Amino acid sequence: MKVPEKNGLENHDPLELQKVLHRRAFLRYTGYAGTAIAAGSLITLASCKDSDDDNENGVNFGSGDFAILNYAYALEQLEAAFYTQVIASPFTGMTTGEKSLLTDVRDHEIAHREFFKSALGSNAIRDLEVDFSSINFMSRDSVLGTAKAFEDLGVSAYNGAGRYIASADYLLLAGKIVSVEARHAAYIRDLISNGSFADSSVIDANGLDKSRKPREVLGIASTYVKTKLDASTLPA
């Protein structure tokens, strides 16, 4: 399935991210220092590819905050495509109430996807091709199980990415989105098993939700993404 093409807003750059990034040179420097040294050279910091480049390693996310935003954009593309299919071919036995709220979830994910596309403008990665061949969209268990995995993954991805965001504006935007993903996650979990909204499979003894690093997240997501992704510019 191909995520539908949207009319891009290529020149839209509402937050002048680059300016922010320069102000935050220190953050950028330290944020990637560990990676760079492990690779043996700080020089690599200076060279960053255009974010929409496709090379033999796959779709490149770009650098700095662009990379984090493209990472979020990729996840939102995946979620939006999934729920679009969920509503297009409802699983057997989907109730009216469930269809209404799952349609809300679809619309939220589309809103997130399109927001990132517009905010990133010409720095946005291209539309990703998804692979949902492992999902039986007629099966309640298959669909809700996948939805739970996607929502919990999304929450952990945003939680883990916050520390790498240099712009306060984009950190807040990520915060505005992640709590909605957490609301989704709790709803889906309760659909599967009432009361599992925040069980010990996701919340630890300190009452903390999970964080995952970008490469771990993309590794998990790769089952559902046909397009090859190059995570090399994302924090390890």
Partner 1 sequence: MNFLQIFNQIEEQDPEIYGRLDTRRDAMRSFAGLGKKLALTSLPFALGSMFNKAYGQTPTGVLDVLNFALTLEYLEAEFYTLGVAAPGLIPAGAATAAITTIRDHEIAHVAFLKAAITGAGGTPVAKPTFDFSGGNGAGNGPFATAFTNYELFLAVAQTLEDTGVRAYKGQAGNLLGAGDVLEAALNIHSVEARHASHIRQMRKANNFGDVKPWITGVEPGLGAANSLVQASYNGEDVITQAGISITNINGQAISSNAASESFDEPLTKAQVLAIVDPFIAG
Name the site residues for partner 1 (rule: CB under 8 A): 6-7, 9, 12, 14-15, 23-27, 29-30, 33-34, 37, 42, 101, 104, 107-112, 114-115, 117-119, 155, 158-160, 162-163, 165-166, 168-169, 171-173, 175-187, 190, 194-195, 197-199, 203, 205-211
Q: Report yes or no: 172 and 199 within 8 Å, Cβ to Cβ.
A: no
Task: List strands edge to edge, sheet with 58-60.
Answer: 54-55, 58-60, 229-230
Query: Quick one: tokens of 172?
Result: 């807040």
Q: Which is nearer to partner 1, 114 or 129 (CB)?
A: 114
Q: Which is nearer to partner 1, 2 or 6 (CB)?
A: 6
Any bridge partners for residue 60, and if so which?
230
* Distance in Å, CB of 190 to partner 1, minimum: 6
Query: Quick one: tokens of 1?
Result: 């399935």
CA distance 167 to 24: 8
CA distance 32 to 40: 12
Q: Which is nearer to partner 1, 10 or 133 (CB)?
A: 10
Q: Which is nearer to partner 1, 87 or 136 (CB)?
A: 87
Question: Tokens 């291209």 — which residue?
Answer: 126
* Distance in Å, CB of 49 to partner 1, minimum: 23
* Distance in Å, CB of 174 to partner 1, minimum: 8
